[in-house]
């Protein structure tokens, strides 16, 4: 874990594979990205998040996913960016290394959880059967065979993982959506975030630049 950017309002941390972003409700003392960043920047622990135990975390990554996570250091910035996110103006771009190939540039769907413990989700075309009435879109840029940059604004749990698997491009190392064993870790990494600041300037951070 490392902090890659910080100012008076927010910071951006780089999460490693296998580390939860925030704790579960019943295990607030769990080792997470939030707890590690909170030791370096206690201000994020004073923010009231969507759930009390999530503090200043403005979004979450799956435990197996690596990459950028934005944390608010003030309540005012948390409230502001939460509104932006709800309006689809918080853009996140991920690199996905897959065991497939597609020319699709975009996929939109609803989602529905299923299976043991409802751990997996599936693409759902019937809004009446979906867990949420929101239509979720993943934009796909093919870099080379099997390698894609996937951009989302509103995100559903496992959205990119499920969408790529649906297109016969399961992500390498995905134990839920890929039957092959092509990587010991999930090769999905959030590499860029972009949003408009309160002063109307566009902020973009790309850890590959």
Tens-place pLDDT, residues 74-98: 999 999 999 999 999 999 999 999 9
Distances (CA, A) of 91 to 41, 172, 173, 193, 195: 24, 23, 25, 6, 6
Contact 170, 164 (CB under 8 A): yes
DSSP-assigned letter for residue 45: G
Kindly tell me if the per-residue pLDDT of 25 is higher than 80: no
Q: Comparing C-alpha atoms, which of 52, 14, 20 is closest to residue 35?
A: 20
Of the chain, the end-to-end C-alpha distance in Å amounts to 18
Domains of the chain: 2-87 (3.30.2350.10), 94-189 (3.30.2350.10)
pLDDT of residue 54: 94
Kindly tell me if the per-residue pLDDT of 26 is higher than 90: no
Indicate the average pLDDT of the chain. 94
Q: What is the pTM of this model?
A: 0.93
DSSP-assigned letter for residue 98: B
Tens-place pLDDT, residues 164-176: 999 999 999 999 9
Q: Comparing C-alpha atoms, which of 8, 74, 4 is closest to residue 33?
A: 4
């Amino acid at each position: 874990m490392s902090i890659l950017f910080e100012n008076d309002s927010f910071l951006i941390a780089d999460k490693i594979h296998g580390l939860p972003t925030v704790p579960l409700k019943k295990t607030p003392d769990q080792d997470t990205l939030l707890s590690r960043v909170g030791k370096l920047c206690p201000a994020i622990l004073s923010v009231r998040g969507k759930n009390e135990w999530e503090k200043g975390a403005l979004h979450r990554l799956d435990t197996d996913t690596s990459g950028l996570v934005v944390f608010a250091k003030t309540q005012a910035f948390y409230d502001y960016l939460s509104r932006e996110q709800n309006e689809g103006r918080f853009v996140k771009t991920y690199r996905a290394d897959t065991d497939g190939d597609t020319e699709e540039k975009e996929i939109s769907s609803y989602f529905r959880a299923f299976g043991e413990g409802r751990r997996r989700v599936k693409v759902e075309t019937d809004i009446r059967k979906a867990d949420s009435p929101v239509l979720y879109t993943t934009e796909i840029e093919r870099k080379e065979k099997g390698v894609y940059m996937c951009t989302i604004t509103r995100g559903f749990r496992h959205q990119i993982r499920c969408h790529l698997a649906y297109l016969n491009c399961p992500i390498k190392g995905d134990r839920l959506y890929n039957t092959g064993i092509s990587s010991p870790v999930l090769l999905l990494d959030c590499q860029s975030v972009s949003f408009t600041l309160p002063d109307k300037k566009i902020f973009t951070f790309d850890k590959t630049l």
